[in-house]
Structure formats: structure tokens, C-alpha cells
Amino acid sequence: MVMAGLVYLLAFFYLRPDINRVPQECENIARHLAAGEGFSLSWFSTTVQPSANQEPVYPLLMALFFRWVPSPYVCLLALQVVVWLWAIWVLSGLAQRLVGAPRPLVILVVALWPPLVVYVLSFHPLWLRAAALIFVLHLALRYRDQPSLWCSLALGCGLGAAALVRAPLLILPALVVPWAVLGGAPGKSTPLAGQISAGLSGYRQRLRQRLSHLVFIGIAAGAVLSPWVVRNWVVLGAWVPGTTTAGYTALLGNHPGASGAMEVEALRPSQQFPAEFWHLSEVERDVVFRQQVAAFWREHPAEAAGLYIKKLLYLWTWWPGVGNNYRASWTWAYMALWSVSLPLILIGWRLARRNPGAEAPGLFLGLWCFYALLYALFAVNLRFRFELEALLLPYALIAAKDLGARLKGRFRPGS
């Protein structure tokens, strides 16, 4: 952790994000919040409009620093580093227990993983999205270990807070809650038919015992999420549990001739609309975008399906024009690093499955696969992968450790 802290300090002086800031919607909203103008945005129009363009947690955090903290940029970055290192510590414990990854290596590699270092030292919520997912998994494991009322309330609050950090995490309860509430499966030594029978019986029993906990998880998540939903209903006049950007992001990746990559498509669909269109409210624009995406799938099903498969492959690899928003040297270095890491991740998953001490060897990879299927519905972006890579790296470390042990045994004198 000390080494990681020094690396972040050196990276700060190299990047100087407090001086070389890239304007983002979050900062725009935070400025309006700090000025007492509410959760508003003046990014896509000439006037300040009430907004749900971004999830609320990070802009609210930025606004607090802008309003009350001297040297807000430097202090906010310091907080980001501290919280992220805490999340890495939590992840290392999860990875050791759930997939059998070596804890010290997880801490070292995740803390020094280049894309995450860059985003922790920038004014973008990606680092917070990755941390929120890690903390929710920690709360789910705590409930799994101690299925109590208080743990169920903590898990529900965590799920609600995560959805306020990253809108796609609204569907995280469908993945995490069954895993936490229903518990483990029968041992692998049991015959398959016995595993199925014992598993179903155990699930039914645990569901009956913990039904009240499910209710409390839902109530707690709803209580945390409800202020944002109510605010959007009152201010925007619409049901918006997440953000108003899903339609536009989907349109970027779903129109005739689309490449599927957000960097390439960033401006193309906007050229279809007259200037007056951008004076509509966010909700009205989002409705139009969603209608165009539905029309594309209805009128061009073969092209839409082929594009979806292509984007799914992109999320695992890369695509033409990838990384246009970053320095070319950074992009090439990352592509080389990912090319080595991907096969190690898949090998590490296989090794984790064979490890009897790994309690949930497929959980991290399963979460990534699920969200890859979801994100392929939109225009793909490297950030979609960055925010989940911390969960994939433990598998690569399992494979690297196994490879190192094999090489050491092979070249040991006398072997």
C-alpha cells in the first residue's frame, strides 16, 4: 500500500490533473450545485437546464469540495486515492477467498494497473464505480456469512448507493442478492443428480428462512434510491431511476452503418437532428433516441444482431479507432498489456474452478460476462471494461503464479 501511494504521488506530479483538467459533465453539474442552481447542466445547450445526465453521487461529492474545501481539486484527488486503496484492500480479501488469488499480488497489480491509476487521478467517476461494485460484493459476502437483519439492511443500502454511482448497477441485485441469500451449492463429490436435488432443496429452505431479509434488502435499497427518483419525477416530470443518457449511448451503437465504437460515433447521430432539437428537455431527447434505436432493430434486425455480436467481441478485445481519446502511446501500451492479460484471465478462471478452496471461482468473471452482454447493446467504450478490470485481474494472477511455479519446478537444479 505504501508503494502504491508513492506511485500515485509520482503519477500526480506527472499528469498534474489539477492543472490539465479535461472538462466533464460531472464537473459542470457540480459547479451549478455549488452555485446553488440545483442539479443542472449547461453542456448540450446554451441555457442551464435541470438534469439527470449523470448519476448523482460524484457530482454531489465534487460540489461539496468546490463549496467548502480549499484547494478542492487536490483534496478531492487525495480522497479518491484513499478510498480506492481501501477498495483494493477489500478486493484483495474477496479475491483470496472467492477465487483463490494471492492477496499481496492482487493489491500490487490492481493498485498499479495503468488505466485505473489514470482514472483515480482524474475527475471522472469511473474509479468510484469500480469501488462501489467491490464494496457491494463485500457486503453480499458479509450477509452470506452472517444472514442477519442488519447485514441485509447494509446490503440493501449498498445496492441502492451503487445504483446512484452507476446506473447499470440498478440490475446488480438480480445477480448479487440470489448469490448472497441462497448460499452455496452442494459439494462437487456428490453425483450430478444428487447435486441438483440437494441444491434445490437447500435453496427452498434458505429462501423460506430469509424471505423477510429479502424484503428488508429491497426496502433499504429503495430508501436510498428514492430521493433521486422522486427528485427526477418532480423536476423532470418523468420516471428516471438512473440517467437520461441511455438512449443517446444506445443510438451511438445502433443505427445504419454504425461501427459500434463510441469514439468513432460520438458526433455522427447528432448530425441527423436540427439545432432546435437540442433545445428539448433531456427526457424528451432520450425518448426520441430510444425510439430510433427500437426502429433500427425493427427495420434492420440482421444488421443490428451482427453489430451486437461485433460489439461483444470488441469488449473482450479492441476495435478500429480504439483509444482515440487517449495518448497513442498509452493506447498501444494498454493493448499490449491486455493482449497478455486476457489469456491469463481465462486460464486463471479454469485454475480457480479446480481449486477446492475457492468459494465462488466464477463470480467475478460471471459479473463481467453479464455486463458485457448488457454494454454490447450500446456503443462500446474502453471505460466499460476499465471499471470491471479490477475483478478480472485476480484470475490473471492465479495463472501467472501457477506458470511461475511450473517454470521454477522445471528449471530447478536436479529436476
- List Cβ neighbours of 295 (8 Å cut-off, separation of 6 or more): none
Residue 360: closest CA among 178, 174, 88: 178
Question: In this structure, which amino acid lies at residue 121?
Answer: L
| Helix/strand/coil percentages in the chain, nearest 5 | 70, 0, 25
Angle (deg, nearest 10), helices 382-410 and 328-353: 60
Question: In this structure, which amino acid lies at residue 384?
Answer: F
DSSP single-letter state for residue 112 = H
Tens-place pLDDT, residues 355-389? 999 999 999 999 999 999 999 999 998 999 999 99
On whether the CB atoms of residues 337 and 283 are closer than 8 A, the answer is no
Count the Cβ atoms, other than its own, within 10 Å of residue 254.
27
Residue 214: closest CA among 179, 181, 171: 181
- List Cβ neighbours of 375 (8 Å cut-off, separation of 6 or more): 168, 311, 315, 384
pLDDT score of 410: 75
Range name among 270-284, 342-356, 363-377 with the lowest pLDDT average: 270-284
Bigger pLDDT: 321 or 188?
Answer: 321
Rounded CA-CA distance 54/24 in Å is 10
Q: Is the pLDDT of residue 243 over 50?
A: yes
Residue 126: closest CA among 393, 395, 390, 362: 390
Sign (positive/negative) of CA torsion 273, 279, 281, 284?
negative
Bigger pLDDT: 47 or 387?
Answer: 387
Residue 363 phi/psi, 5-degree rounding, is: -65, -50
Q: What is the 3-state secondary structure (H, E, C) of the chain?
A: CHHHHHHHHHHHHHHCCCCCCCCCHHHHHHHHHHCCCCCEECCCCCCCEECCCCCCHHHHHHHHHHHHCCCHHHHHHHHHHHHHHHHHHHHHHHHHHHCCCCHHHHHHHHHHCHHHHHHHCCCCCHHHHHHHHHHHHHHHHHHHHCCCHHHHHHHHHHHHHHHHHCHHHHHCHHHHHHHHHHCCCCCCCCCHHHHHHHHHHHHHHHHHHCHHHHHHHHHHHHHHHHHHHHHHHHHHCCCCCCCCCHHHHHHHCCCCCCCCEHHHHCCCHHHHCCHHHHHCCHHHHHHHHHHHHHHHHHHCHHHHHHHHHHHHHHHHCCCCCCCCCCCHHHHHHHHHHHHHHHHHHHHHHHHHHCCCCCCCCCHHHHHHHHHHHHHCCCCECHHHHHHHHHHHHHHHHHHHHHHHHHHHHHCCCCC
Question: In this structure, which amino acid lies at residue 185?
Answer: A
Confidence band for 281, pLDDT divided at 50, 70 and 90: confident
pLDDT score of 303: 95
Confidence band for 21, pLDDT divided at 50, 70 and 90: low
Rounded CA-CA distance 101/389 in Å is 15
pLDDT score of 163: 97
Tens-place pLDDT, residues 103-147? 999 999 999 999 999 999 999 999 999 999 999 999 999 999 999
pLDDT score of 22: 60
Integer Rg of the chain from CA:
23
Sorted by where each begins, the domain ranges of the chain are 245-415
pLDDT score of 228: 98
In this prediction the pTM is 0.91
Average pLDDT for the chain: 88
Residue range 237-260: average pLDDT?
A: 91
